[in-house]
């Protein structure tokens, strides 16, 4: 099926760490040749089977950031290629935007990075992040029900010389913090006293998007300097600015900064919405970004496509979208 001529603009969402689940991408690889080829390419580049890790786990190995980053990238690119089979090789989305790690998937979909380049970069990124902070010394938590200013005030008070900061501005009333575990423990009660409805630990292995990741950012910068980037074929939103990426040098700088900088997800989504886009496809496991999208703009529509069921629903989604 090719998309109807009247199909409105469609933006693509690519999830990051925290969305993983055993079985992700396996069903899609069984029904779509492009998805299956994507897993085969990843194994060839990485030297280990992403498909086996997705299907069999164990979850402890899957969640380890050095494995999870290339695995999530592979699942998202497999889903994107399955989508492209339906939309046609010349089809372009209105924009691509990825949350943290997902920004690399978004750049692949926009033609700025090859899949092989991205795999090597995120494998290094994952290893560098894992090695930047000893296991058990850092973490992240989602603070529900407070605005960014309230969260920042608690972080400033409870850091007490340690690292604790805002890491993700995900949606109104959902702010993620990152830092040393001792500081996170101190802040938990203070967030609740300030009115937070919940403080939810995230299933990640390191404290991302804070100053503790400085060594990882420098290692990624060195790797990015050797990569031949291309101009994106469509707007790709930068997590650091909440606006489309600029030229190749600007992309390198933004990807380095993203490692230690808060993810301005609400700003990214808002920019796309401001272009008149109301239809999205989330390409990867889970429904995290679809849920955040609804919190940002209730009128927006989102199809989750990471398995054979999502692929089956695509045709109806496109028809409804064009109606």
CB atoms within 10 A of CB 231: 12
- Is the link from the previous residue into 58 a cis peptide, with omega within 30 of 0? yes
> For residue 276, what are its two tokens?
């008149």
Active-site entry in 67, 99, 209, 261: 209
**Of the candidates 184, 98, 194, the residue with the CA atom closest to the CA atom of residue 141:** 184
What is the β-pairing status of strands 174-180 and 164-171? antiparallel
Q: Is 99 a catalytic residue?
A: no
What is the β-pairing status of strands 95-98 and 174-180? unpaired
What burial class does residue 161 get, using C-beta atoms within 10 Å of its C-beta: 0-12 exposed, 13-18 middle, 19+ buried?
Answer: exposed
> For residue 106, what are its two tokens?
């978004």
**Measured between alpha carbons, how far is 74 from 187 in angstroms, rounded to an integer?**
36
What is the β-pairing status of strands 198-201 and 138-144? antiparallel
Q: Is 19 a catalytic residue?
A: no
Active-site entry in 29, 76, 100, 105: 100
In angstroms and rounded to an integer, the radius of gyration of the C-alpha atoms of the chain is 19
Catalytic residue positions, numbered:
100, 209
């Amino acid at each position: 099926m090719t998309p109807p001529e009247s199909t409105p603009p469609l933006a693509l969402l690519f999830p990051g760490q925290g969305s993983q689940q055993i079985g992700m991408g396996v069903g899609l690889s069984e029904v779509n040749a492009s998805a299956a080829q994507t897993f085969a390419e990843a194994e060839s580049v990485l030297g280990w089977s992403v498909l086996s890790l997705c299907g069999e786990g164990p979850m402890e190995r899957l969640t380890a950031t050095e494995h999870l980053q290339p695995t999530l990238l592979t699942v998202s690119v497999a889903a994107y290629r399955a989508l492209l089979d339906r939309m046609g090789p010349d089809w372009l989305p209105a924009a691509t935007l990825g949350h943290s790690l997902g920004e690399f998937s978004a750049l692949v979909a926009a033609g700025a990075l090859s899949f092989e380049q991205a795999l090597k970069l995120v494998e290094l990124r994952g290893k560098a992040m894992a090695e930047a902070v000893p296991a058990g010394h850092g973490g992240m938590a989602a603070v529900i029900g407070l605005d960014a200013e309230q969260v920042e005030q608690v972080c400033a008070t409870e850091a007490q010389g340690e690292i604790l900061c805002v890491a993700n501005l995900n949606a109104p009333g959902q702010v993620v913090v990152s830092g040393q575990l001792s500081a996170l423990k101190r802040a938990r009660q203070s967030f609740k006293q300030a009115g937070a409805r919940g403080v939810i630990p995230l299933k990640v292995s390191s404290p991302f998007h804070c100053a503790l990741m400085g060594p990882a950012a420098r290692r990624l910068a060195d790797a990015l300097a050797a990569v031949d980037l291309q101009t994106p074929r469509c707007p790709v939103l930068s997590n650091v600015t909440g606006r489309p990426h600029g030229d190749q040098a600007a992309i390198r700088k933004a990807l380095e900064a993203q490692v230690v900088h808060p993810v301005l997800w609400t700003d990214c989504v808002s920019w796309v919405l401001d272009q008149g886009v109301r239809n999205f496809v989330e390409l990867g496991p889970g429904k995290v970004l679809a849920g955040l999208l609804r919190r940002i703009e209730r009128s927006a529509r989102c199809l989750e496509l990471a398995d054979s069921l999502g692929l089956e629903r695509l045709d109806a989604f496109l028809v409804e979208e064009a109606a």
